[in-house]
Amino acid sequence: MKRLILASNLLPVHITWQDDKYLIEKSEEQTIAGLQNFYSDFEPVWVGLTGFENHDFTPEEVSSMEAELKHFQCVPVFPRARDRNLHLHGFSRNTLWPLFHYFTENVTYSEVSWKAYVKINRLYAAKILEFISDGDILWIHDFHLLLLPQMVREKKPGVSIGLFSHVPFPSFEIFRLLPWRLEIIEGMLGADLIGFQTYDYVRHFMSSVRRLMGVDSFFNRISIGERTLKVDVFPKGINYEMFRNKALEIHSEHPRPSVIQEEMKLFKESGQLDKLIISIDKLDYTKGIPQRIRAFERFLQTYPEYQEKVSMIVQAIPSGETSESFFNLKSKVDELVGRINGNYGTITWTPVRYLNQTFTMDERIDLYSLSDIALILPLRDGMNLVSKEFVASRHDGTGVLILSELAGASKEMHEAILVNPNDLDAISEAIREAVEMPEEEQIRRNKVMMMRLQRYNIERWASEFINSLEGVKEIQEFTLTRKINITRMRQVVDRYKATKQRILFLDYDGTLAWFKKDPEDARPDENLYDILKRLSGDQNNTIVIISGRDKETLSRWFDPAWNIHFVAEHGVWFREPGEEWHMMEQIDNEWRESVEPMLEYYVDRTPRSFIEYKNFSLVWHYRKSDPDLGLQRAWELKDELRTLTSNLNLEIMNGDKVLEIKYSGINKGRAASIKLGEGGHDFILAVGDDWTDEYTFEAMPEDAYTIKVGTKATKASYYIESVDLVRELLCRFTKENYDG
């Protein structure tokens, strides 16, 4: 049975000190999670902190608690109290939390807190590395541990690591405010699978990776060196059946006794209320509790006919925060509730009943099932499970959910009344619509949401994440089977040395030479000259440099007397050793007058892009441009060029941050076929890194060695990691003795 290691901020247990010993119980969250069947397929182990924030544990206490928690499959981490507070209340809650929720005015940038954050992540890594094995799965949860994936990856590169973020991921313009943004991204990229609640967060994360790391993605996959990782959407569900069954129990012939039920009934009857609104969330500035209360006040002002007929219960769950902003928020909420009740309340009617306390899950279900409307309006929320819990608790399908369009849950719960949480008039109108909504309409909306919640529950969420993680590992293993490692490199070299008539097709940029922001800076160095001289000096070799470069550049860089064949501009120009450049066929070049003005227009619209003029093609480069803008302009330019070139017999080639427009039918594959001639070669090698090299790979016979530089999707049989390794392979061809 596989071991599943779950790392989170807190262990899923409740620990108290009683009678000179620790009393440990499973937390309510673990008890009601609905993941029992999921965990039964694994050997689960939880790694996290205890609930004791301001206590430095002695060695004896550490030993005792570790022994006790082992029975609960928990492995505790024991940081010093100061480090823990700086990590949690400093960097996690006062830096990452407000930044990720777009509350930049609440962000503090503290070097001391950042160092504590790094230190706690390292403590987790050290603890996990004590017992983790390559066959285990490590599932890391949330923003407290964003550095942990890479820390574990460095020591255990073969282990499966998943990271799930329960909070939003901000746009790059917000994320770039963080001084340690690069370290955070690098830490997260240590995972094999990174999960977010919505596609918006995926898109923001991918944009930050592209801009900060210069790493491109293919759909939702990112290739870093030889490793491919995946970024995907996994909206968290709830234990739907539990909420449903407990709600049915409340309304059965023999309901379970509950203080909340009695108080709710008395509250509705004493005020002779027609409708009761429930609003539950943490007392946190991201949840918009004051806005909800103001919106209800606006409703009472706008629709006075509903005064003394509609009340609202606000449960603001204490967040455990002790900062000044928290106390200011609590004071503001207290003031708003007092003002509304003072201005509108009567002896028999209380407009707002405010509860600043934590309820059990059963008590929350009582609140959900006995109210009529849920007003859930966070200003920004990763998901918001309260909205899902409310719908699941509607035993008869009635009830109306008013939901913030800035909550992650809004992406799934389209049938709710969606509103902007900052638009008080819109919320007031939404409350009126909810109060007046016929039961048939309520049931119609809720039925669709209930079916969705039942299908995509918390167990399916967890299963899909782990299945996707295992799928990524399969992709990585498949990639490794095609990798030119030391063993396979030795096999290729052995084959090379055993043959007498060889032909080598070598791309230039990204294969023999590294990419440069300025293409002119990618000229050959002495090491490359030495490799090519030795290869071309062997009379058994035919060396073909097959490049998209123009012939003038290649002529400047390489002596025509060398025994090297050149193909320039993807197959337009040919040059045999000691001869002049020539074309295989005449090409019409008049089309440039039509296309060039459009490229100039896009240069003007895309800062730092430029045009490269070749003899029979035009190339628009956007490597230096803003990554997102360059990609967008490339799409726009391709779309316009398709219309313009449809009758001109031209082809648009999409290279590595370049668009090349050239005469149709001319490509590297056709040129390679011409060079292969009548055959007779007993060793054929083709190496390239670009989309344009796929033509070359296609033109090769089955027994050829076709190698892609990088791990992008390819028709090549193998891939090699870098330009350095391409050069190493070519060096080994020319050595009499080499290290295998």
Which sequence positions are flagged as catalytic?
A: 507
Q: How far apart are CA 297 and CA 345, in angstroms?
A: 12
Three-state SS annotation for 171-230: CHHHHCCCCCHHHHHHHHCCCCEEEECCHHHHHHHHHHHHHHHCCCEECCEEEECCEEEE
Phi, psi dihedrals of residue 131, rounded to the nearest 5°: -135, -5
Residue 720 forms beta bridges with which residues?
A: 709
Q: State whether residue 27 is helix, strand or coil.
A: coil
Q: How far apart are CA 589 and CA 606, in angstroms?
A: 26
- Which residue is associated with the tokens 């282990």? 159
Phi, psi dihedrals of residue 618, rounded to the nearest 5°: -120, 135
Q: How far apart are CA 87 and CA 114, in angstroms?
A: 7
Taking the CB of residue 649, how many other CB atoms lie within 10 A of it? 12
Task: Report which of 100, 95, 235 is spatially closest to residue 172, judged by C-alpha positions.
Answer: 100
- Helix or strand holding residue 685 (H, E): strand 683-688
- Strands 502-506 and 217-218, how do they pair? unpaired
Alpha carbon 671 to its chain's center: 41
Alpha carbon 277 to its chain's center: 36
Six-digit token string for 17: 């000190």
Question: Distances from the Cα of 299 to the Cαs of 267, 332, 352, 423, in angstroms?
Answer: 20, 19, 13, 12
Q: How far apart are CA 167 and CA 319, in angstroms?
A: 15
Q: How far apart are CA 80 and CA 93, in angstroms?
A: 18
Q: How far apart are CA 419 and CA 436, in angstroms?
A: 17
Q: How far apart are CA 271 and CA 148, in angstroms?
A: 54
Compute the radius of gyration of the chain from its Cα atoms: 32
Q: How far apart are CA 207 and CA 52, in angstroms?
A: 38
Using CB atoms within 10 Å of the CB of residue 249, give its burial: 0 to 12 exposed, 13 to 18 middle, 19+ buried.
Answer: middle
* Sheet (strand 221-224) strand order: 74-77, 43-49, 3-10, 137-141, 160-164, 193-196, 227-233, 221-224, 217-218
Q: How far apart are CA 649 and CA 651, in angstroms?
A: 7
Six-digit token string for 220: 């939702």
Six-digit token string for 136: 């285990």
Q: How far apart are CA 683 and CA 676, in angstroms?
A: 11
- Contact status, residue 349 vs residue 268, Cβ threshold 8 Å: no
Three-state SS annotation for 480-512: HHCECCHHHHHHHHHHHHCCCCEEEEECCECCC
Task: Report which of 550, 647, 633, 548 is spatially closest to residue 598, judged by C-alpha positions.
Answer: 633
Long-range contacts of 574-582 (CB under 8 A, 24+ apart): 574/671, 574/674, 575/551, 581/551, 581/555
